[in-house]
Copies of this chain bind each other. A is one copy, B any other.
Amino acid sequence: MSKNSTYGLGLDFGTNSVRALLVDVSSGRETATAVVAFPSGRDGIILDPKNPTLARQNPDDYLIAAETAVRKTLAAARRAEKSFSPARVIGLGVDTTGSTPLPVDAGGAPLSRRREFRRNPSAMAWLWKDHTAFAEAAEITALAAAEHPEYLAKCGGTYSSEWFFSKILHCLRVDPAVFDAAASWVECCDWIPAVLVGETRPEKIKRSRCAAGHKAMFNAEWGGLPAADFLARLDPRLGELRAYLYHETFTSDVKAGGLSPEWAVRLGLPKGLPVAVGAFDAHLGAVGAGVSPGRFVKIIGTSTCDICVWPSDQSLDDIPGLCGIVDGSVLPGFFGLEAGQSAVGDIFNWFVNEIRPGGTKIGSHAELTKKASRLKPGASGLLALDWNNGNRTILVDQRLTGLLLGQTLHTRPEEIYRSLIEATAFGARTIIERFREYGIRIDEVINCGGIAERNPLVMQIYADVTGLEMKIARSAQTCALGSAMAGAVAAGPAAGGHRNFPEAQAAMGGLKTRTYKPDPARQAVYEDIFRIYRRLHDAFGTRAWTGSLFSVMKDLLQIRDRQLH
């Protein structure tokens, strides 16, 4: 640490907890961090025993947990560096899950603070993984497909039950009292910066381009949010709401405001500290991982989020199957492109924790990984599809299911485990090929997340399957790091920060030295197997050809649903 060190503070609001991370603005050194769990519900999530699709959060959990996380981080920084002082923190950034909208009153207070709504989940934040609005999502998709296909073209062809308008429309239908009481709805990533800067009136909140573009069909091409008459066709009251939402959006290099006096005291940070406009965790995570044109970022966890960028002054067709293409959602001046796999770590966890082959202990991947590492590509004769949780990209189909093929009487658990890893690699390659087909350059892949950090077998298979070098982000906390970068950019060079994200990435980001290069021999084998994977992928996942098996998985799910209900 130099005596002149300045710091960016990143606040990363996850599904169960918030992390604060203090980062040296010039070196990227991560000086201190703290994680604080959300206090309400089960692991921070309000559930409904009668409705497994419901997942809500108490918005005040975010504030209580953030206050503690920041104070703990500052205390840890003081212990780590004697010369540290909160005055050296020059900017603060925020990322959150999303779409996680909450209904607010005219002053921006969550409706869940009102006595009459205090225990009402409709008045809380509707967590990203809440799927109560599946019927409304289908309704929005159908209407948009018929009348405004352009709305869907930028978000993968399907409007999801996880997203902004589905949730608001569902609230309107099932709990009109809450809907009527709401002056507006605000994404979590917009509301938290608004609270910190002390300006929560909905019309004054600086809304995130990322959230608006990826989850609310916001696009400059059609004048912002979907047209009022479109929303009114879903419900007249939804059409009326449009005027109380927003018309302008901002990228995360923009300052949302200065830290309010109240929050300066609560957090122990300087009053007026620049707070950046918020964004979603994966998008600021990609920034923290070093995303740039040609550098594809994979955030690998239970599922994956794949992010890349492309100059927004260059022409770009709609890319079928992508979750979103939004100008400025990741880096200003670039299209942010988002794709993803519905399950990656979750598939490995399913095999280890649910099937528990050979009496595998719950959570124990080590033994299977060790044995699977000794196998040669293709030597098991197995091939799997990575669809145990549906397929997000490129098929955008939640009603697809898993497949394992090639079993004999001698098939061993570690062979299945390896084939599941390979399946996710083939899924990753399918996404990369889709990007490339539409002219997006991909030179290298930067991976982040626990699996990328801890499982060299997975990374090597990804390299061998994709033919691309796999690199690992240096930081284990790229989301919080991206938020800290946003803070440093919002603060600007005059305050000791950075002029823009590329500069912040160059100074604060970096890669681990260990990388994974494709091995030509293994690559050649996987080339053959990938061709077979694509045959199965297209046979079961598309209607494209005579004799398609497209309906097979759905027919089985329909029978299942009939038998279970």
Q: Taking beta carbons and an 8 Å cutoff, which residues of A are in contact with B?
A: 343, 346-347, 349-350, 354-360, 376-383, 388-389, 401-413, 416, 525, 528-529, 532, 535-536, 539, 545-549, 552-553, 555-557, 559-560, 562-564
Contacts and interface: CB of A to CB of B under 8 A. Distances in A.
B379 A563 contact: yes
A379 B557 CA distance: 8
A19 to B, nearest CB: 25
A87 to B, nearest CB: 48
Given A404-B407, A409-B343, A563 B378 contact: yes
A355 B539 CA distance: 28
Given A379-B560, A379-B564, A548 B547 contact: yes
A413 B343 CA distance: 19
Contacts of A358: 355-356, 359
Given A381-B560, A532-B552, 12 more contacts: A343-B409, A355-B355, A356-B357, A383-B556, A402-B406, A402-B407, A403-B403, A528-B559, A529-B556, A545-B547, A546-B546, A549-B549
Nearest to A343: B409
B562 A535 contact: no
Contacts of A564: 376, 379
A355 to B, nearest CB: 5
Contacts of A535: 549, 552
Contacts of A357: 355-357
Contacts of A350: 407, 409-411
A409 B383 contact: no
Contacts of A404: 402-405, 407
B389 A401 contact: no
A525 B562 CA distance: 10
A412 B351 CA distance: 10
Nearest to A346: B409
Contacts of A381: 401, 556-557, 559-560
A193 B355 CA distance: 51
Q: Which 8 residue pairs of A and B lie closest in terms of their CB atoms, listed nearest first?
A: A359-B359, A402-B407, A547-B547, A381-B560, A378-B559, A379-B563, A546-B546, A378-B563
Given A378-B559, A563-B377, A405 B553 contact: yes
A226 B215 CA distance: 74
B354 A410 contact: yes
A563 B399 CA distance: 35
A354 B388 contact: no
20 contacts: A350-B409, A350-B410, A355-B411, A356-B359, A357-B357, A382-B556, A389-B409, A401-B408, A403-B403, A403-B404, A404-B404, A406-B553, A525-B559, A528-B559, A529-B556, A529-B559, A539-B547, A546-B546, A547-B547, A547-B548
A556 B403 contact: no
A388 B409 contact: yes
A349 B408 CA distance: 12
A540 to B, nearest CB: 8
Given A356-B357, A378-B560, A388 B407 contact: yes
Nearest to A560: B381
Nearest to A408: B388
A562 B535 CA distance: 21
A563 B382 CA distance: 13
Most buried by B among A356, A405, A553: A405
